[in-house]
Structure 1
Amino acid sequence: MDAAPLPLDLTRRPFLASEALARGVTRKRLRARDLWTPTRGVRSVDLPTSIVEQARAFAAAAPTEFAFSHVTAAQLLGIPLPYAVEEDCRVHIVTPTSANRIRRAEVQGHRGLESREVVDVVGLPVVAPADTWVDLGEYVGPGKPVGLDDLIVAGDAVVNIVGGTEPLRHAVECRVRPRGKVTLTYAIPRIRVGSWSPMETRARLMVLRAGLPEPSLNADVLSRTGEWLGCGDLVWREQRVVGEYQGVEFHTRPLDRRHDGVRREGIEHGDWVVVEIAAEDVFDTHCRAAKLRELAGHLGVNPHVLDVLGSGPQFLAPPQFARPRRPRR
């Protein structure tokens, strides 16, 4: 026998079981197999799978004052996270310090909503990008999943939203002893507007740490007569050199390779040098050394002065950057 139909609006959104009961839906109907229980007291016709759907399901049962925070906020805002953090399937929320902490198996509760700015994302209350970036400092440190370069990658994404690093600096300064403050503070001057992907950020960090000149990010590439030839990931205008990160996602299909070849040919005909950068050039020591020497040759930098060892990925801020601890009495 088919289950009794639900009110039409309840089939289009997660809803409280108490709301359905008040509208005449029976308890037996709420236990039917065609309904999901994404969190205690909530039902939905469809299984929530995306982060937006999961957040909406929890929002149906959430307290009056709350916002999605930490990992959940970063995912809703499109801030890239390392895989170890993205595997956290819990919904993170923050409530006022004076409120009781939410206790649900699928929820990680935090306090301090009053110290964070909140924005609307697809109708959901979400901790603002700069404050979310500061919250990622809680995952930083030895044995934790987020490192310095991960923070810079996330910061590059955030400043593309907020327009610069000053909101990040302000968000750090407004907190009272935020976790990871040393690494957050060290990361801010190394964050740039204009990076379009995590690996573009990591490639930029590599060349800067090696001692090469800083490139423009995703800048226009023009011929000597002013004709637009394309947009380059890393662009050294004076030396007429373009660094292009070749990611697996967008540059491995035959159609992608043909498009990249035509584009590269056009840029090179405009009297530019194109240097392709792959993931192994960033993460593998020998590949990184060879790629840096190649770039140095095109940029007119003596390869013998490159800091190849110091150009690799970094997980912690340098020890000398940490604030001195007060001696114990």
Structure 2
Amino acid sequence: MTEPPLRLRSDLLASGTTADEIRHALRSGSLKRIARGVYVDGTTDLDPLAQHRARLSTLRGTLSDGETISHISAAILHGFDLWDVDLTRIHVTRDRASGGSRRDTRHTHTTPLRPDEICRVDGAPVTSIARTVVDLARTLPVDQTVIAGDSALRMYPDTALSLPDALAAGRARQGIAKARRTVEFLDGRSESPGESLSRLRIHTAGLPAPALQHELRTDSGVFVARPDFFWKDRGVIGEFDGRGKYGSDEPGSTAEIVHREKLREDAIRSLGFEVVRWTWREVFEFGPVRARLVDAAGRARRRW
């Protein structure tokens, strides 16, 4: 991701801009403050994630000895999917036993860090992927952790081998029991935040775990589909419909996409499977989706 050009107060002053002119630019909106003494052009449209990344870029080379970017901030630098998390604070971890603090724009954690729990991202010290996943699992709600953790395993599959050791290293830290339960549930085959949340809702609804991204083929081996969720024994396919595929401005594109989806579902049903779809809104009101899944199994004449 391209970061916006940053304008430092020290550089502005050195170039002849006065402090009064900087204050006027901030009031008028021609400059936007993203951190103390750090600005971007007022026309730059920064969402919270982009603003957090920009603020992180100002830390490089300024971290104290023993400080490492961690938690949500590390997740952003590693490229994890994040959803509904507080991005107002930069998170760093100091390699010491005490002395942590939480301020308006910075959360300093204190806990020992092993050398193998630190890596470099764009020259900055950052907690490793496995350590970051475990830290998120300890400190974030389950929904947010599953989204971030699934994306970490999807992008970095070998991380699964490192997670048991990362959990063992954190055995004395607060929230580690919750982290163990959550990490065990993570699955890199979930391809989007909506699929991750859907899988979690399926689990909490007491339904059997589905197969993920299973390829469906005809008896002759012709590829038909690769649905999000598949219950072979129940004869049911589940699809999270959270893609923005119906919002294209291209004339006729919506009708064409809907037509292709209908043909795809017809092909799936020709194999003897029922198809149940749900949307983002229904992920948060999953009871009706559960009922549709159970009804679909009944139509397929396979007991749920």
TM-score normalised over the length of structure 2: 0.72
1:172 aligns with 2:167: yes
1:209 Cα deviation (Å)?
A: 5.7
Distance 2:10 2:97 in 1: 26
- Maintained 8 Å contact 1:241/1:274: yes
Structure 1, unmatched stretches of 5+, are 1-11, 141-145, 304-329
CA deviation string 1:78-109 (max 9, x = no partner) = 434452xx244223233443998688642223
Equivalent positions of 1:50-129 (< 5 A) are 50=47, 51-60=49-58, 62-63=62-63, 66-83=67-84, 86-97=85-96, 105-112=104-111, 114-115=113-114, 116-120=117-121, 125-129=125-129
Letter matched to residue 139 of structure 2: Y
Compared CA separation, residues 194 and 106, structure 1 to 2 (3 A): same
Letter matched to residue 75 of structure 2: A
Q: What is aligned with 2:214?
A: 219
- Maintained 8 Å contact 1:172/1:178: no
Structure 2, unmatched stretches of 5+, are 249-253
TM-score normalised over the length of structure 1: 0.67
Distance 2:51 2:207 in 1: 45
1:252 Cα deviation (Å)?
A: 7.8
Compared CA separation, residues 208 and 38, structure 1 to 2 (3 A): closer
Compared CA separation, residues 252 and 290, structure 1 to 2 (3 A): farther
Compared CA separation, residues 212 and 251, structure 1 to 2 (3 A): farther
1:160 to 140, 154, 164: 154
Equivalent positions of 1:34-45 (< 5 A) are 34-45=30-41
Q: What is aligned with 1:315?
A: none
Letter matched to residue 146 of structure 2: I
1:184 Cα deviation (Å)?
A: 0.9
2:46 to 34, 38, 49: 49
Deviating more after overlay: 192-201 vs 242-251 = 242-251
Distance 1:176 1:104 in 2: 27
Tell me the number of residue pairs that the alignment of Structure 1 and Structure 2 aligns: 282
Q: What is aligned with 1:259?
A: 260
Distance 2:205 2:17 in 1: 68
Q: Which has the higher contact order (CA 8 A, sep 6+)?
A: 1
Distance 1:257 1:123 in 2: 46
SS in 1 for 2:237: strand
Q: What is aligned with 2:131?
A: 131
- Maintained 8 Å contact 2:213/2:229: yes
